[in-house]
Each structure stands twice: as structure tokens, then as C-alpha cells.
Amino acid sequence: MNIGVLCIQGAFAEHITIFKTLGINCTELRKKSDITDLDGLVLPGGESTVQGKLLQELDMLEPLKEKIINGLPVFATCAGLILLSEELTNDKNVYFGTLPICTRRNAYGRQIDSFCKTTDFKGIGSFSATFIRAPYIEKTGNGVEILAKTDGKITAVKYRNQLGLAFHPELGNDFRIHKYFIDIINENTRNNIHY
């Protein structure tokens, strides 16, 4: 198994550390030519506007979008969720636009307003979630499964091959959500699909 982790900006190193701890090979995606032979993709937290701009400048946006549309499993956290969103309530930009949700950027305020909160994650149970300048999902489209709500706000969803979280599961020692993503990839791999 080989998971590509977008490494152009943000909290990518923590995801790589977790997957390596779980015995999974990771490819650091820094340029277009790195996008090959992937079983999964991680879009990490960070600054979504910067990531979106760099994805376009590096000519990585369209090749990755095509893979996602064709079924490549993708795990997006915080800024990554914003990149996947079909619509943003407080930003005119749309990046991948493959996940039929409407998301609010920086919904909880600035960095100083960061917090941890226990949330119930469907299929996993109680999970301590870290929110840093986090978005939340205001509405979901057809076929989107809500996996977690935090204080009544939607903070995790699954749609086909796409797993989107408003929080940072990589900041801690609980690897269950990363294992959940590995299970999604394994299900995909059983169908002999490689990207």
C-alpha cells in the first residue's frame, strides 16, 4: 500500500509519522511527477488558500482532482476539507470541488480560539478532536454520510471514496481514524484499483 501525502504546506509530517507507525508506505507529493501509483491520498491541515494557490502553480490540482473523481480514496483534514468542498460560504474560491458539501472557513475563529473537544465518530466511538482555525460543514448533499458532529455542527463526513474532517486527528496518539482510512483503501484495493 502506498499513500500519497500532499507536502506543499501544512501539517503533513504528522500524518506521515502515523502511517509509518502503522506500517504504511507514504510518498511525499511535492511536484506533479510525484503523483503516480497511489492507493490513497492525504490532504492535510494548513492554510487552504496557500495550498490551493500552490496546487495550481505546481500543476498538481487537475491531476489529483481527476484521480479523486476516478475513485482514489482521499483523507482530508481541516484545510484539506476546504480544498475538497464543492462550496464555501465565506470564500468564492473552489479548489477540487469533489465533495458535495458547503463548508465555512475559519468557522471557530482565529488560532487563539483553538480547542479540543470529545466527539462521537460513527463506527469508531468517542474521539478527542483538535480544532485549529477549523471549518465546519454547514450543509451536505445527496449521498454524504455524516460521521461526527461537535456541539451540533457537522465535523466529519464520508462520501464515496472521500473522508473529510474539520479537525486534526493526526495531533495525538489515537490512530483509529487513520486505520479507518486504511480500511477504505483496503476495500478499494480488493477491487484491484490503483491510481
Name beta bridge partners: 123. Answer: none
Q: What is the dihedral of CA 118, 75, 184, 155, to 10 degrees?
A: 30
Backbone angles phi, psi at 169, to 5 degrees: -75, -10
Distance CA 43, CA 81 (A): 8
118 with 150: CB under 8 angstroms?
Answer: no
| Residues with catalytic function | 78, 168, 170
Within 8 A by CB and 6+ apart from 177, the residues are: 121, 124, 127, 165, 169
